[in-house]
Amino acid sequence: MKCTINRRAQFSASHRYWLPELDEAENKRLFGACSRFPGHGHNYVMYASLEGDLDKYGMVENLSVVKQVIKREVTSQLNYSYLNDTWAEFQTTLPTTENISRIIWQRLAPHLPLVNVRLFEHPELWTDYQGNNMQATLTVKTHFSAAHRLAIPSLSFEENQEIYGKCARPNGHGHNYHLEVTVAGEIDARTGMLVDLGALQNAIDEYVVEPFDHTFLNKDIPYFAEVVPTAENIAVRIADLLRSPIKEIGAELDKIKLIESPNNSCEINCRNAHATVETANQAAVMAS
């Protein structure tokens, strides 16, 4: 029986996005504030996911050994470092979050049965790398606040209440929605970027956050006048709105996750149009 385990580790490091072959104006255009001298820092958190059959001791890998490997190959070298000068690979390709996760994979793969490296630059930005050459995913997390009512206009209040319960009450209710947008693409061999992060954030703000924030979805968003704004339908609509703008900036929309509350969330796998609804009891939690 195959099983996946996850090991968490962390390190603090600084870096700078700067290409010496470009002038200052072009570096600022490409990297914005990240080009400032002498750089900036993050408290990085990584999860190494390992997969394999259970051994006679009931383990995929001995976690004490996993911990030692990660410390030896990654965290002891990167912690409190200036990444641009720490590993030779970052002389060729800048130490973006995407590229750091790729190089961590290369350092760990000879020693561990890796299936994924997830690296958080901060809680609202992370990447996943699965050993596919220069391909990776990048996730941006944001939020908006909105109200909605779950009701089919052609049905009576009693019929809607039978379907949607309290959510069918006439005056609606609100949520602080948390939105995770995951894009896929190839890491640029020089800049280390999968996508222009500023352009990605602008697209999410323009097409989703600004139009949806502080609205009554049923009344303020024409699409939801006829479509019941369940978490699933909202996530599908967000995917439809973002697919083309993200393609225009050179990436592919991979996944939308909409968290309606701590107990409920919905995911849209945009590359095969598969939706998954989670409740608190169903949600998978990474092992610590």
The phi, psi pair for 200, rounded to 5°, reads: -65, -45
Catalytic, 267? Answer no
In DSSP terms, which residues pair with 42 in a beta bridge? 13
> Which one of the listed residues 175, 260, 266, 267 is annotated catalytic?
260
Catalytic, 260? Answer yes
> Which one of the listed residues 167, 178, 180, 186 is annotated catalytic?
167
Rg (CA), the chain: 22
Question: What whole-number distance in Å separates Cα of residue 63 and Cα of residue 181?
Answer: 31
Task: Taking the CA atoms of 155, 159, 164 and 170 in sequence, report the sign of the dihedral they define.
Answer: positive
Q: Which residue has the tokens 């602008």?
A: 202
Buried b (16+ CB within 10 A) or exposed e, 153-189: eeeeeeebbeebeebbeeebeebebbbbbbbbbbbbe
Catalytic, 214? Answer yes
Q: Which two tokens stand for residue 232?
A: 């699933």
> Which one of the listed residues 122, 143, 173, 214 is annotated catalytic?
214
Catalytic residues: 167, 214, 260
